[in-house]
Chains A and B, each alone.
Chain A
């Protein structure tokens, strides 16, 4: 919106637009006339000597910004107003406001470091698929778990299958499988920004299914919650 406010007690005639702005009154420029006003030399003069002020529908603009608005240039300053206090943001000490003020400089977002990690060494004692003790993690209430890595290795002389599993109670929701050749081989995946893996209340754990009950293994997964 582009509004011309007459700051004087006399009619201001902007001759090259043909418009008379009432004394101490306003004139709202129709959008189809924006180009006409953008080409006006008279209005630039009137803004410059403060005969008129330009209002963008929210607030009065400075001479420079008012001139820019009339000429169709982008304003050099973008003002953001709070929904409740209508205070402008743009000065030192101003803050974006949501439910609370952000004062510490840390903003919680999807992009964050992985602060959940399970890292376990274990002995292979059975040939069947077995839950690896110490790898279970239950997703916090109200959160979603993003997995960022899943890796494993084994010095068993035979291959070992490792699975990263998600359960909702007793129901298997998802499973990621890695086959490790054994004899010190390592295998794994990583996702830098994380992938959505488990919902609140779900349980994550790792299992090992060796082809021989010999040697030991190592398994690790990491992630974060949002």
Chain B
């Protein structure tokens, strides 16, 4: 009679295919640890901005009634990437919004990218814009926008890691 052989599985010994998913690790143990530092915050709360009334070119949206060029949304994650921009507007129109980051009170404003709503009341736009840690995000109607917006609300979805 043959004896049954059993062994405790070791995750690190189990190969992990990272060729299509952005993971670095090639074993299961490492992949799970990567999730610990990234996946828990990958679906960040939507960073929301808005402005009531007609919002013309060059005008910044607000965060909680404060102009976002004065005080923006703080980038608290490391290796931050804006994954999506979503926009709602009262009117069906074509306009462009621009995402920027700065150091606070409008210092060091740097453009990250733009998206254009075309003849619609809004939309969601997949993007992949890296933004530095400890900066502040702001949004404005791009100076090159074809039209103004009205009673606009805009959000950003941010992903990143909890450690550098």
Contact = CB atoms under 8 A, between A and B. Distances in A.
21 contacts: A11-B57, A13-B58, A15-B69, A15-B106, A16-B67, A18-B62, A18-B68, A18-B69, A18-B70, A19-B56, A19-B59, A19-B60, A20-B56, A21-B56, A22-B57, A27-B54, A27-B56, A28-B53, A28-B54, A36-B65, A36-B67
Interface in B24-70: 51-54, 56-62, 65, 67-70
A218 B53 CA distance: 76
B73 interface: no
B50 to A, nearest CB: 11
A16 B68 CA distance: 10
A29 to B, nearest CB: 8
Nearest to A15: B106
A122 B67 CA distance: 88
B139 to A, nearest CB: 10
B59 A20 contact: yes
Interface string B131-163: 000000000100100000000000000000000
Given A15-B69, A16-B67, A16-B70, A22 B140 contact: no
Interface residues of A toward B: which range?
10 to 19
A18 B140 contact: yes
Contacts of B69: 15, 18
Interface residues of B, number: 19
8 A-B pairs with the lowest CB-CB distances in the bound complex, closest first: A18-B67, A20-B58, A18-B60, A30-B53, A30-B52, A19-B59, A20-B59, A18-B69
A200 B94 CA distance: 69
Contacts of A21: 56
Interface string A14-51: 01111111100101111011001000000000000000
Interface of A: 11, 13, 15-22, 25, 27-30, 32-33, 36
Most buried by B among A13, A29, A32: A13
Given A18-B68, A20-B59, 10 more contacts: A11-B58, A16-B67, A17-B67, A18-B61, A18-B140, A20-B57, A21-B56, A28-B54, A33-B65, A36-B67
Contacts of A13: 58
Nearest to B54: A28
Interface string B61-92: 11001011110000000000000000000000
A17 to B, nearest CB: 6
A11 B144 CA distance: 13
Contacts of A20: 56-59, 143
A54 B61 CA distance: 22
A19 B140 CA distance: 9
Interface in B6-21: none
